[in-house]
Amino acid sequence: MTGATERPRVQLALPRSLADPAGAAEIEVDALTVGEALAELARLRPELAPRLLGRDGRLLSAVAVYLRGQDVRELSGLATPLSSRDRLELVPALSGGDGPAPEPRAFRPEELARYGRHLVLPEVGPEGQRRLAASRVLLVGLGGLGAPAALYLAAAGVGELGLADFADVQTSNLQRQVLYTTADVGRPKVEAAADRLAALNPGVRLVRHPERLDRTNALEVVRRYDVVLDGSDNFPTRYLVNDACVLAGVPDVFGSVYRFEGQVSVFDARHGPCYRCLFPEPPPPDAVPSCADGGVLGVLPGLVGLLQATETLKLLLGVGRPLRGRLLLVDGLDLGFRELALTKAADCPVCSAAPTITELIDYEAFCGVAVGDDDAAAVGAVELRGLLEAASPPLLLDVRSREEYDLGHLPRARSVPLEALAEHLEELGQAGSVVTYCSGGTRSSQASRRLRDVGFRRVRRLSGGFEGWVEAGGPVTTGPGAD
């Protein structure tokens, strides 16, 4: 005998006008669809039935039901499927007691001009523009992906943009992060971004999140937004954002880039797979080079970031076919686009029917990057300059490619590309202490670990790499140097 289908537990959020006499504004029910949830509500609160459903069982036009910012009428109506931890918000028409309900606020002349191209689009129109104005989007990372996306979301009239980034603007950012100018170098990204976006569209509310998102604060931040656009550039943050979005029931608009390639998807565990369904485990630490080490064509993050912005606007407007359950692959060299179908993993630890991750975890440890010894062995640019002026300076190892080295390197640094490190171990063993560096830190971390693994005891790496050294005003030598 086949058992009954297990129904997910969902929340119904009721306005004061529908709350029970005791003031309870939230009710939990078990339901597979919106229709089942409303029927269960009517069973528990019979006096509400005439205000919700007609005699034919259809949803009355005088009440709107929203599922994460979208009217269910624009989804599948009463047949819209529900997932565990979904939250339905009921919005009834109110008389107000003083005549008919007020008309929606008219657009000001400046808004008619600003959003005119939206207002004439049937898929947007006045109602869609008002929906955008009532929406909230969190941008995690204001770098190559987040910068162009932020500009277009602000220009589109999204009502509130959350700006999450703890970094400062660096000169190396300007090749692709078009939100900033040379005058912004050294400023916190959230401040520089807020100034630029406010100048572009003063009507957008800008919420700054200058703190690093982690397991202690991410869920609280994510819950206040309708959509999260993930423009992060590291695996711990991607898994953090994914898990927080799943737990909060918020769509995660994902993007990533490397050299000439990009990826875009919408991970929405309520209607399809999440990031963990695609990548259950992160790659080994340092196995995937960063853009600082591998490079990226400056316009490619702009292309991918605008695709993310497009998907975000589609979600907010409830139009088109979002990239749920689909991974878009971008090839900048051939200017080709391929699409792969994604499926929800039955054993996904966070979005399956029986999740093993029900709260945020330590994502640095999960991704294998929380290596205390490596952090302790990092040396900053200022400290390194002092060490190089000492009587017994350390041996500087530039583990980048020879081509990168010839373009510019630290004075007295020796070129030993990472892939050739094993060939030089015997001669390097004569050095008293060693400091490794690369462009940003990925390859130097690998080099330091390899040296320690074979017995080198005094090995440190330059924090921030060559880029950080230049930003700190350190001297640079060009052309061939020591081998």
Q: Which residues of 191-227 are buried (b: 16+ CB within 10 A; e: fewer)?
A: ebbbebbeeebeebebbbbeeebeeeebbebbeebbb
Q: Which residues of 429-460 are buried (b: 16+ CB within 10 A; e: fewer)?
A: eebeebbbbbbbbbbbbbbbbbbbeeebeebb
The angle that helices 189-200 and 146-156 make with each other, rounded to 10 degrees, is 30
- Please name the residue that has the structure tokens 């485990």: 281
Distance of CA 75 to the CA centre of its chain: 25
Which entry of 245, 274, 277, 291 is annotated as an active-site residue?
291
For residue 323, report the phi and psi dihedrals to the nearest 5 degrees: -80, 35
Residues 6+ apart with CB under 8 A from 255: 145, 229, 230, 231, 262, 263, 264, 304, 305, 307, 308
- Say what the alpha-carbon torsion angle 447, 449, 451, 457 is, to the nearest 10 degrees: 130
Q: Token pair of 306, please? A: 């605008």
- Please name the residue that has the structure tokens 């086949």: 2
The angle that helices 125-133 and 299-317 make with each other, rounded to 10 degrees, is 110
Identity of the amino acid at 267: F
First to last CA, the chain: 75
Please, are residues 259 and 327 in contact by the beta-carbon 8 Å criterion? no
- 480: part of which helix (H) or strand (E)? none
| CA–CA gap between residue 76 and residue 186 (Å, rounded) | 49
277 is catalytic: no
| CA–CA gap between residue 361 and residue 180 (Å, rounded) | 33
Q: Of 173, 178, 184, which Cα lies nearest the Cα of 154? A: 178
| CA–CA gap between residue 433 and residue 232 (Å, rounded) | 35
291 is catalytic: yes
Which entry of 245, 351, 367, 438 is annotated as an active-site residue?
438
Q: How many CA atoms lie within 13 A of 425 on its CB side?
A: 13
Sign (positive or negative) of CA dihedral 459, 464, 469, 472: negative
Q: Of 82, 75, 34, 94, which Cα lies nearest the Cα of 58? A: 34
**DSSP label at 353?**
S
Identity of the amino acid at 131: R
| Residues taking part in catalysis | 291, 438
